[in-house]
C-alpha cells in the first residue's frame, strides 16, 4: 500500500513540476471567464497604475486637468490586457494590435483606408 502512495506522490510531483516549468506555453490557452478581469480600474489614476499608459499615450495630463470621466473603455482595456499577456508585448504594441484588429473587423486597412471596392477617394 505504501508503494502506491509513494508512487502516486512522486507522479504528482513530477507532473506538477513539468506543468510549472511549461506554464508559459499552456497558461494563455486556459479559458478564463470574463468576470475575473472585471476588476479593472475605473479612473485615469487607476489606469496609470495598471500600466495602461506610456510616453506615446500619456494619461497624466487627464489626471492633472481633473478629467471627470471614468477612465478608458473597459472592453478595450480587457482586450488590450489580454493581448499584452498572450503575446508578451508592451502597452503601445498591444494598443496598436488592438486598433488593427478593430480596423480589420470594420473592413478598414492598416493604413486607415476603407477596403470597400466601391470606395472612391479624390486626392
Q: What is the pLDDT, as a whole number, of residue 78?
A: 84
pLDDT tens track for 54-81: 777 777 777 777 776 766 777 888 888 8
Higher pLDDT, 123 or 86: 86
**pLDDT single digits (tens) 87-120:** 989 888 998 999 899 998 888 887 878 888 887 8
Strands (E) across 10-102 are located at none
Nearest to 74 by CA among 96, 31, 107, 41: 41
Where is mean pLDDT largest: 35-39, 48-52, 73-77, 85-89?
A: 85-89
Cell 495598471, located at residue: 50
Q: What is the pLDDT of residue 30?
A: 82
d(CA 38, CA 32) in angstroms, rounded, equals 12
What is the C-alpha separation between 27 and 21, in angstroms, rounded? 11
Angle at 29 between CA 28 and CA 30, to 5 degrees: 95
Amino acid at each position: 500500500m505504501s508503494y502506491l502512495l509513494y508512487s502516486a506522490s512522486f507522479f504528482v510531483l513530477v507532473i506538477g513540476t513539468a506543468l510549472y516549468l511549461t506554464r508559459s506555453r499552456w497558461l494563455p490557452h486556459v479559458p478564463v471567464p470574463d468576470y475575473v478581469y472585471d476588476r479593472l480600474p475605473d479612473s485615469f489614476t487607476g489606469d496609470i497604475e495598471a500600466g495602461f499608459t506610456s510616453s506615446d499615450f500619456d494619461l497624466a495630463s487627464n489626471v492633472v486637468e481633473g478629467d471627470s470621466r471614468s477612465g478608458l473603455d473597459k472592453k478595450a482595456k480587457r482586450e488590450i490586457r489580454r493581448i499584452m499577456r498572450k503575446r508578451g508585448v508592451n502597452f503601445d504594441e498591444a494598443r496598436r494590435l488592438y486598433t488593427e484588429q478593430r480596423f480589420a473587423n470594420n473592413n478598414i486597412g492598416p493604413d486607415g483606408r476603407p477596403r470597400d471596392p466601391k470606395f472612391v477617394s479624390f486626392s
